[in-house]
Structure 1
Amino acid sequence: MDNFDMSVFDKKKELQKALNYTLEHYRPHDPGSYLYNKIFEFKFSQKFSEDFIELLYVTLSAWNMNSRGAKLSDFSVFSESIKEHKSDFKKLEHQKIQDLEKNKEIIKDLFDNLKVVDEGKPPLVTFSKTLHFILPDLIAPIDRRYTLRFFYGKNTDTCFRSKDKQFEVFWRIETEFSKFAQKQKDLNSYVDKNGWNRSIPKIMDNAVIGFISPTVEREKAEQKKKEKEKKEKLKTIQASHK
């Protein structure tokens, strides 16, 4: 099977197994973890200060938002855009991921208008992480390597065909998380205020990471093996022509 959905975590033992894998193997000594926990030291009312927005920008960079095809907008543009949309964020301050559907219009407006990436760059991943840092109880972060691989299989390029397509993908994934949170009433029991499991949306993201990571690592190893074999074959051909 190439792609999955949240039903793989219907059994608590599978959810716990995936979370344990993430805890043990995912960025154990990475500065991104330290910065992520610093984010949570700020109250919502402080999240439009220059200090928080600088931390947000640095954390996004640490989470690879200036690589793999992503490119953050200039800090001045990024900062001004966050501040300009303070009223929209304020409307979402107390919303939980279980409340996702009723907030679609505001979230779509933010997706269309927040300037978190350079013009022409795909906003999907950066947008999800930006909103997660500001609204950690409402939005789960999305990335290409784990989240998109889990929900869409190996060919994740199709997720980035257009900005409308990216919002469709974003909304489908967040809706999957929302429905799972509505069904699983005890997700709060997994919240850890000093680690990766800081909120219910991040718990679900971590479950996805833990579940799909072995597959991602296996595919990476297979790709390296193929590349090595290809190089060795090329060397053999070149040697035979000398």
Structure 2
Amino acid sequence: MKFSAVVKKILSSSSSPMTPQEIRDQVKMKHPDFYGTPSHHRNVEKGHYKDLDHALLAQIYSITGTSNIFQCDKSTKPMKISLSKLEKPLRRPMMNSERPSIHRASPIRGVNYDAKIKEILSNAEKYHDAYYKAETFRGPSLYFHQRALATRHAPVSLTHLEYIYATLASWGMHRMGRGGSKMQSFEIFSHSIQALKERIAEAQTFDFHEMTYTKWAILKEIFCSIRVMASGTSLVGNSKAMHHMLPNVIPPIDREYTLRFLRGNTNIRNDLETEWLLMKEIISQFFIPVASDAAFYSKAEQWIKRSRDYPWDTSVLKVVDNLVIGSKK
């Protein structure tokens, strides 16, 4: 059972919303295997939390703040957590007039993430070999990618922004002629990033192991404020731009590989809020679970160290992306 399922089970058995502290106590009492885990002990040993209770509490805040299974009422302190309306059992059949309108549907409804996570973890070596044997991406696309990452700690510098801009162009984000995707002018792109200087610097300290509601909110602000694409869809271009600023928390996402692998199609509804939700869910429900697997994480770190052999393995989340691409080779 996953930790999110444990929290969901606890909330399902409660007649009223619960505080994180109340959920923690129920976990300790009824699900002791989820208390004092190796991850909790590591975080305490590293000084991230003062004791195991606080490590568990942080995990509760993280899972309830990043999953649409839960609803958090922050009008009280401590906040009260309940199941979202979509997760609550129905008391009676819904009338047509009561059904949610179609535009409220989850942007990735029906995706079996568990199966996709298992596929990647079970075939990591195979897909990694396939990715590098294909030698699909070389030349400018690799050079500018590496340079953009190397200069990211000066996130609004002209050099860094020019490298990101060049990377996206070499990755096919700007098509010449009438059709295809189009990027904004460099001036528009650069100006949008300048206004996000402090947010980007803060987000560069994030770790995908320790995402919280507040951290996701900061990433959303960045995603919704970047102006890199002139064409209708923002998800692909924005994720690729953000990846080169925040490689530890944002992977590059595209239609042909990411969406086709996860959803079986390349459709994106052109709506900034919907595209943000889609990106967040893909990262939180697929990329982070894969990257958090202990055996995979160790393997990815070894590949990253062998940069001459595996130049595209530039972060753990990029390794996951490479395996998704390798699955299609």
**What CA deviation, in whole Å up to 9, does each residue of 1:199-240 have, x standing for no partner?**
0010000010001x24xxxxxxxxxxxxxxxxxxxxxxxxxx
Which residue number in structure 2 is paired with residue 52 of structure 1? Answer: 160
Q: Any idea what SS the aligned residue of 2:150 has? A: coil
Aligned to 1:126: 237
Segments of 5+ residues of structure 2 without an aligned counterpart are 1-110
With 108-117 and 35-44 compared, the bigger mean Cα shift is at 35-44
Aligned match of 1:178:
288
Q: Which residue in the other structure is 2:173 paired with? A: 65
1:121-160 matches, cutoff 5 A: 121-154=232-265, 156-157=266-267, 159-160=268-269
Task: Percent identity, please.
Answer: 26
In 2: Cα distance, 1:101 partner to 1:153 partner:
30
Q: Would the alpha carbon gap of residues 121 and 26 (structure 1) be closer, same or farther in structure 2, given more than 3 Å must change?
A: farther
CA distance in 2, matches of 1:113, 1:161: 15
Deviates more, 1:201-210 or 1:17-26: 17-26
Shift of 1:170: 0.7
- State how many pairs are aligned: 206
Post-superposition Cα deviations, 1:46-80, rounded to whole Å, max 9, x if no partner, equal: 23111111111111100111137432111101011
Higher relative contact order (CA 8 A, sep 6+): 1
Q: CA RMSD in A?
A: 2.1
Structure 1: unaligned runs, 5 residues or longer: 215-242
Structure-2 residue corresponding to 1:39: 148
Whether 1:113 aligns to 2:225 is yes
Structure-1 separation of matches of 2:237 and 2:302? 28
Alignment of 1:80-119 (within 5 A): 80-102=191-213, 103-118=215-230
The residue identity in structure 1 corresponding to 2:288 is S
Task: For residue 161 of structure 1, report the CA deviation from its aligned partner.
Answer: 4.3
Q: Which residue number corresponds to residue 307 of structure 2?
A: 193
Moved over 4 A (4+): none
Q: What TM-score do you get using the length of structure 1 for normalisation?
A: 0.78
**Taking structure 1 as reference, are residues 26 and 173 closer, same or farther at Cα in structure 2, changes over 3 Å only?**
farther
Larger CA deviation: 193-202 vs 60-69: 60-69
Aligned mates of 2:147, 2:210 — CA distance in 1: 26
Assess, with a 3 A threshold, how the Cα gap between structure 1 residues 171 and 8 changes in structure 2: closer, same or farther: same
* Rg larger in structure: 2
Change (3 A) 1:123 1:43: closer
Distance 1:101 1:24, change over 3 A: farther
Distance (Å, rounded) in 2 between the aligned partners of 1:107 and 1:17: 33
Label 1:27 to 1:47 Cα distance change in 2 as closer, same or farther (>3 A): farther
Give the Cα separation in 1 of the matches to 2:152 and 2:195: 19
**In 1, Cα distance between equivalents of 2:144 and 2:270:** 31
Within 1, Cα distance between the matches of 2:246 and 2:290?
18
What corresponds to 2:127 in structure 1?
A: 18
Q: 1:70 and 1:101 mapped to 2: Cα distance?
A: 33
Give the stretch that moved more between structures: 142-151 or 93-102: 93-102
The residue type paired with residue 18 of structure 1 is Y
Are 1:167 and 2:276 an aligned pair?
yes
Q: For residues 149 and 201 of structure 1, what CA distance do their matches in structure 2 show? A: 18
Paired residue secondary structure (1:47): coil
Deviates more, 1:86-95 or 1:186-195: 186-195
